[in-house]
Amino acid sequence: HKLADVLGSQAEANLGEREAALSAHRKGLAIRERLAADAPGDPTRQDRLVESYIDMAHALQGPEAVEHARRALAIAERLVGLESGSELNKRLWARALYAEGSALVVSGDLPAAKTSFEKATEAFETLLAAAPKDASTLRGVSMAHKRLAAILAKQGELPAALGHYRKVVAWDQARAAESPTSVEARYDLSVSLVDFGWALAQSGDQRGALEQYQRALGIRETLVRTDAGNARARDGLASVLARLGHASQDIGRHRDALAYYQRAEQTLGPQTTNRDLLPNIYRARSASYAELRRWDQALSWARAALQLGSASLASEPTNASFRIRVAWEQVTLGRALLGLA
């Protein structure tokens, strides 16, 4: 599993080789399933099997991810219920709840995901009360609150979401200050700042959103300079640059937005495998050029966005998010064509 984490874990700095990581996770899971089946009364083997199911839940998407999370949860719940249930069992249970919530979000079941994250926050907070200085527990409670806040924001409960995000930023700032050389702690803080900024933008505070994105940008630029081969940090830097572009668009600063989009594309590089961000950048560029009445450029970037989006949809024709994205790209193309006319 360490090999899988280095190659492409969703949660760690990695080399960006997702398929190789998934293959390594599957092999590790198969080994641990056999070992657990050979000694069903061995709690250590059961614990390790739970860890493998959690890893698979994070590596996969859709129903298969939910299934692996629930397998982890079922074993962890049984271990916690035993008289000999340990703090490790309780931690695995909290992590399994978090994995279930994450998988349910990707599957589109936000009400069920909200329930999982509410349980996860309670489980992690219980662990934190027993060990308030434990860095991994603090990270767990922060991540669970963050995911719960995102769901609340999407459901329109912005005051509650912002309350969660403020707590998360404070926790992550404390973690980063306690461990200033920790890449994980600094990246987590940057994610929290981006998420907080997004929630501020949803509440109408665009300038507040820009401020949080700028703080995140500074952290991610430093991380990329420190480790240029870290695919996660590089994609994260491109992502926050794109968000700065969107926030600049929202307050009418389209030339600033275009500069941010150009930097985002340059950060991704010509060999990028990020099929999600690049079409978004191209579509947003088209929109800014349209606002500036530069219709030739608006049309060019709209066509580029549609070309990438259509290729992604052709590779996964049942992917609902790709279908929605292509629809928006067609709308953007139509606006550019009307502008030229």
Cα–Cα distance measured from residue 142 to residue 124, given in angstroms and rounded to the nearest whole number: 9
What is the pLDDT confidence band of residue 230, given thresholds at 50, 70 and 90? confident
The single-letter code of the amino acid at 293 is: R
Q: Does position 213 have pLDDT exceeding 50, yes or no?
A: yes
Angle between helices 63-81 and 43-59 (to 10 degrees): 160
Average of pLDDT values for 268-291?
89
Give the DSSP letter of residue 74. Answer: H
Cα–Cα distance measured from residue 37 to residue 30, given in angstroms and rounded to the nearest whole number: 11
Q: What is the percent of the chain with per-residue pLDDT over 70, rounded to a whole number?
A: 94
- How many CA atoms are closer than 13 Å to the CA of 157, on its beta-carbon side? 12
Residues 6+ apart with CB under 8 A from 66: 57, 100, 103, 104, 107
- Name the token pair of 70: 């629930």
Q: Does position 250 have pLDDT exceeding 70, yes or no?
A: yes
- Residue with tokens 């933008």, as numbered in its chain: 201
Closest to 193 (Cα-Cα) out of 181, 208, 205 = 208
Q: What is the percent of the chain with per-residue pLDDT over 90, rounded to a whole number?
A: 71
Per-residue pLDDT, 101: 97
Cα–Cα distance measured from residue 315 to residue 276, given in angstroms and rounded to the nearest whole number: 13
What is the pLDDT confidence band of residue 94, given thresholds at 50, 70 and 90? very high
Q: Is 256 or 82 the better-scoring residue by pLDDT? A: 256
Cα–Cα distance measured from residue 64 to residue 53, given in angstroms and rounded to the nearest whole number: 11
Q: Does position 118 have pLDDT exceeding 80, yes or no?
A: yes
Per-residue pLDDT, 19: 76
What CA–CA distances, in Å, run from 306 to 181, 249, 329, 331? 41, 20, 5, 10
The single-letter code of the amino acid at 317 is: P
Average of pLDDT values for 154-178?
92
- Residue with tokens 């991540």, as numbered in its chain: 143
- Name the token pair of 317: 């024709």
